[in-house]
Structure 1
């Protein structure tokens, strides 16, 4: 199985450098163009299934890249963006120290109150991926978010901590993994 994992295209919150989390806002014009460009970069791959976070920006991106109608995309809560709690919609450049430290170095600093922990993100994405790998797919697309993609990458790259925090994935960057008998390998990074 090849698993294509990508972050959604740009939204106005991305453009304005806001913590987007669970806010459900659509792609902007740049985000739509990024998804269309990604579709062209990956070519005519036929996806056996397309999974997305239930947030509209992920669903729109998944539809554009895959050619699937939005209603045919499998929405899964386990790949929704991290819950930023009281920091939702806060400007990245003006985050209070506890959130700034956590978001920069989660391996050292704990999640502030109201913010989802790394442990929680690792648990839900591991459950999702473990279930996905039992399916009989040749090619599958998974569209999610900048925060939650980090534990997804950790699982698929067998990271000891369970996540790969840096470098930060850019909008519509596609990580292509091969999964064979529970073993994983990154085969491409399409920017």
Structure 2
């Protein structure tokens, strides 16, 4: 019998800073009411997936999402992995994008493109960020082999994972942005690397 390790990597629920266009990074911003509703809806949508546990970034918007889903599904509290944190945006972290347009117009344009090669003064480099994200993902897969794990994290983190699993350069621009509550499904067969797969919930429809 083949034992499959499956991870469902999902972006946290909405925050007020999402709505205001403020770069959150490592700033601990809570979910808003819409984000909490999204978290309950996520639990309902994924209820049939058979998750045994949840893992989360330690940042409040991610951890609160994970805690809501865990409670709704009757699962243990989520385990926190620091490597799942959003990218640190350095000096512009916490700055509204409207202000960024005035003070750093070139950087503003590249952030809108979600260019991973952006130089964030005082923040994380592209490679340092990508390295710790992938290390965290590998550690989760090793910690929970042969099971199904829901992983709650952040948008730029999901970009890193998408590039890696699609064999794209770390500096590739994806021309996409994950919605709050959007998921990316991964599988690992024994002796193989993690790979992107369609949602098993969609396959079952």
Bucket of the pairwise TM-score, normalised by the shorter protein: 0.7 to 0.9
TM-score by length of 2: 0.80
State the secondary structure of the residue aligned to 1:153: helix
Map of 2:78 onto structure 1: 73
Q: How does 1:146-185 map to 2 (within 5 A)?
A: 146-161=155-170, 165-180=174-189, 181-185=192-196
| Residue 61 of structure 1: aligned partner | 65
Provide closer, same or farther for how the CA distance between residues 127 and 91 of structure 1 changes in structure 2, counting only shifts above 3 A. same
The two structures have a TM-score, normalised by structure 1, of 0.86
Q: After superposition, where does 1:9-20 map in structure 2 within 5 Å?
A: 9-20=13-24
Aligned to 1:111: 119
Count of residue pairs brought into register by the alignment: 189
Matched residue, 1:126: 134
**Structure 1 Cα separation of the partners of residues 118 and 37 of structure 2:** 36
Number of the residue aligned with 2:197? 186
Partner of 1:88: 93
The structure whose Rg is larger is 2
Which structure features the higher share of helix residues? 2
Deviations 1:108-142 (A, max 9, x none): x5413213221111110121122223232420111
SS of structure 1 residue aligned to 2:199: strand
Cα gap change, 1:30 to 1:75, in 2 (>3 Å): same
CA distance in 2: counterparts of 1:98 and 1:82, whole angstroms: 19
| Change over 3 Å in CA distance of 1:28–1:113 after alignment to 2 | same
Which ranges in structure 2 are unaligned for 5 or more consecutive residues?
none
- Unmatched 5+ stretches in structure 1: none
